[in-house]
Amino acid sequence: MFDTAFLDIPALTGAGGTVHLPGSKSISNRVLLLAALSEGRTTVHDLLASDDTAVMLAALRQLGCGVDASGSTAVITGLGGRAVQQQAKLYLGNAGTAMRPLTAALALLGGDFELSGVPRMHERPIGDLVDALRGLGCAIDYLGEDGFPPLHIRTGQLVLDAPIRVRGDVSSQFLTSLLLALPLVASREISIEVVGELISRPYVEITLNLLDRFGIAVQREGWQRFTIPAGSRYRSPGDIHVEGDASSASYFIALGAIGAWAEGQKGIEIEGLGEASIQGDIHFIEAARQMGARIDASANSLRIRRGAWPLKAIALDCNHIPDAAMTLAVMALYADGTSTLRNIASWRVKETDRIAAMACELRKLGASVEEGQDFLKVTPPVLWQTAPIHTYDDHRVAMCFSLAAFNPARLPVRILDPRCVGKTFPDYFETLFSVTRTEPELVPVICIDGPTASGKGTVAAVVAQKLGYHFLDSGAMYRITALAATQAGLAIGPAQEPAIAALARQLPVRFADGKVFLGNQDVTETIRTEEAGMNASRVSALPSVRLALVDLQHGFRQLPGLVADGRDMGTVIFPDAALKIFLTASARQRAERRYKQLISKGISATLGGIQQDLEARDARDMSRQAAPLKPADDAALLDNSELSIEESVAQVLKLWQGTRPF
Ligand SMILES: O=C(O)C1=C[C@@H](OP(=O)(O)O)[C@@H](O)[C@H](O)C1
Ligand SMILES: C=C(OP(=O)(O)O)C(=O)O
């Protein structure tokens, strides 16, 4: 997950590859609750691991449910119809699929519960559900504003002799919540009547489908009346699989429709979701087809390629696909005219006011947008612009705006607070980068070169982490090559030069979390020994190894960007880098830093000796024939003698921001 303040997505030029989707949020949280209300154990496979399911799992644990979750599998030992824990304060983040169904279930079970969430959750309506439950005799109080969480639930006096009435025109989750919870008290037949036009109907179909899997056969008369038969009881199916999330699929379906692909390539393939899906958002494929996407669909997979280009403008009632329809709004940027998305009033009460948010952010890119109470009209930009995209803590805003990176102006797109995708798709951007391509020169590189002990490694690693970029510690390359050669039984010297060069070209090196990996081996400490240093220096004297390492280093230039530290990054390896820094500090300062480092490790040294060594090494590095240590002509000089690491990082980031078009 990108846990950075922002993520700059370089202009993208192609898309192709296979996507494994995370599990459906709507199915995951329903299944978890149903399993909790059932008796016995349910094993949930392919469960979504995200913020929304984490709050549901935590709540179930607090209620006394057995939860054994590891990876994408969770074994739930159900409560069998009663909360073991009669008192709890539950924090439900911004998960509508946790807040609303748990409100209904706990109000019917009785006890003393407080349900709260993020500030936005306290602005999302729940009044229609509370009214329906109060009508049944449930005791629910508002702890903040009337009609909104946080809620206080107590034990009420249930009266179940009349049909329960619930409004369906603000959120379908209110009806879903009643349907999921009422079997708890269905000793007699219970009917629910929907007041007003029911929106987001396919989500109610997911509910009915899953209730059926748990032994509850709800009778439905149109979309107005739902009856839970007398004596209904939850029966765990034992094992249950969660489909891939159809709303999450919409970004990759759009990607296939937008990203040009070469003849012979397969376009975007999506596994774990297809026409047999029980999720309404699978119908997004019809909208995408209308816009020009070529989609081959099987029961459990999808293949998407670009068809019509530009895309065809669309006018669509989107009430049946409220979440995936946001993706259409961004696809509309690539259309041949004005697209209209209608009947989307519910957008205004979701993670943010999505109509206002989409209108505002689409305009930043140059689109003309007309917004109404329940519609959005998008006309593509005449002149594409770029600007930081505000994401309003809304995962879907973040995900769908990533698609703007295919803009013909080849402008990068800045997504603010990319972490918000954690609500339903924590690895969204990693997945995106795994199936998109761009020209190498569009992948930005920041080079930080400088003499030994200038702090360049530390500064570069922090800068990379703050930008969510890849990191290349080029100084470690020779050490790793030497280690790999030794492990392969090659004597380090001219006799084995071709073999070592071949090895170097393919080295499986990775820098992650301050560690260095050779394949799966953590070699962070091994390459720092005195012996490794000697071997590295011998390896670096072999010209064809140096050449091989150039290719290897170029290979680190990958989406979304790279920070490379070393001695010749800006001068030799990445001469076209967008920013080059030459980081220095006085020999005295550097010697002091090194001295402190050694002493803290219990290694004895003298300050004077270290300074002498440093100066000798500087002289050698600066006068060597191949790639001497010197600032690139276009490098910014940064003397950090008087700066802390944080201050140096801040300086680099400021210089970097100066090169960005935002
Ligand atoms: O029941 C569900 O799982 C959902 C229903 C929809 O909400 P509304 O019914 O409020 O439109 C949808 O937007 C949400 O992401 C998930
Ligand atoms: C509306 C959404 O979420 P929630 O389940 O919190 O309503 C969504 O995921 O787009």
Is 131 labelled a binding residue? no
334 touches 311 (CB < 8 A): yes
User: Are 233 and 277 in a shared domain?
Assistant: no
58 lies in the same domain as 12: no
Centre of ligand 1 to C-alpha 222, Å, is 19
436 and 259 Cβ atoms separated by less than 8 Å: yes
CA distance 21 to 308: 26
Q: Are residues 179 and 292 in the same domain?
A: no
Residue 398 CA: which ligand is closest?
2
- Which of 208, 241, 274 is the C-terminal boundary of a domain? 241
The β-bridge partners of 154 are 139
Look at residue 402 and tell me if it is in a domain: yes
- Strands 225-228 and 190-195 come out as antiparallel
The reply to whether 1 falls in a domain is no
Q: Is 177 a pocket residue for ligand 1 (Cβ < 6 Å)?
A: no
Q: Is the CB of 394 under 6 A from ligand 1?
A: no
- Whether ligand 1 lies within 6 angstroms of the CB of 319 is answered as no
Both 269 and 145 in one domain: the answer is no
Q: Which pLDDT value is given to residue 81?
A: 81
Which domain-ending residue is among 226, 241, 256? 241
Q: Closest by alpha carbon to 648, among 657, 635, 656, 639?
A: 639
**What pLDDT does residue 528 have?**
87
Residue 452 among known ligand-binding residues: yes
- Among all bound ligands, the one having the nearest atom to the CA of 346 is 1
Nearest residue by C-alpha to atom 10 in ligand 2: 323
305, 228: one domain = no
Burial (CB count <10 Å: 0-12, 13-18, 19+), residue 591: buried
Single out the residue of 118, 28, 101, 3 nearest to residue 424, CA to CA: 28
Q: Which ligand has the nearest atom to the CA of 200?
A: 1
Tell me the pLDDT tens digit for each residue of 430-469.
999 999 999 999 999 999 999 988 999 999 999 999 999 9
Residue 303 resides in a domain: yes
290 and 270 in a common domain: yes
In a domain, 388, yes or no: yes
Question: Alpha-carbon distance 32 to 22, whole Å?
Answer: 16
Q: Among residues 437, 466, 495, which one ends one of the domains?
A: 437
CATH of the domain at 29: 3.65.10.10
Q: Ligand 2: which of 170, 351, 396 to mutate, most ligand atoms within 8 Å of CB? A: 351
Give how far the C-alpha of residue 205 lies from the chain's centroid of Cα atoms, to the nearest Å: 28
Token pair in block for residue 131: 């009214």
Q: Give the pLDDT confidence score for residue 264 in this predicted structure.
A: 67
SS3 378: strand
- 150 with 99, same domain: the answer is yes
Whether residue 143 lies inside any domain: the answer is yes
Q: What is the structure's pLDDT at 263? A: 67
Say how many Å lie between the CA of residue 319 and the centre of ligand 1: 11
Q: Do 453 and 397 fall within a single domain?
A: no
Residue 583 lies in a domain: yes
Tell me, yes or no, whether 174 lies in a domain. yes
Pairing relationship of beta strands 315-317 and 339-342 according to DSSP bridges: parallel
24 CB under 6 A from ligand 1? no
pLDDT tens digit string along 622-635?
Answer: 887 766 789 999 99
Domain enclosing residue 78, as ranges: 25-241
Catalytic residue among 52, 281, 323, 568: 323
Task: Kindly state whether residue 18 falls inside one of the protein's structural domains.
Answer: yes
Decide if 140 contacts 128 (C-beta within 8 A): no
For strands 521-522 and 445-449, give the pairing. Answer: unpaired
Shared domain check, 159 and 42: yes
323 noted as active-site residue:
yes
The verdict on 541 and 576 lying in the same domain is yes
Q: Which atom of ligand 1 is nearest to the CA of 349?
A: 10
Task: Tell me whether residue 354 is annotated as binding.
Answer: yes
List pocket residues of ligand 2, CB cut-off 6 Å.
Answer: 94-97, 323, 350-351, 396, 424
Q: What is the CA radius of gyration of the chain?
A: 29
> Is 455 labeled as ligand-binding?
yes
Residues in the chain, pLDDT under 50: none
- For the question of whether the overall pTM of this predicted structure is more than 0.90, the answer is yes
Domain count, the chain: 3
Per-residue pLDDT of 138-172, as tens digits, reads 999 999 999 999 999 999 999 998 999 999 999 99
Rounded Cα–Cα distance for residues 451 and 137 (Å): 75
28 lines ligand 1 (CB under 6 A): no
Cα torsion through 422, 38, 139, 122, rounded to 10 = 0
Residue having the nearest C-alpha atom to atom 4 of ligand 2? 96
Task: Say if residue 420 is in the same domain as residue 472.
Answer: no
Could you tell me if 426 and 478 lie in one domain? no
Give the helix/strand (H/E) hosting 203.
helix 201-213
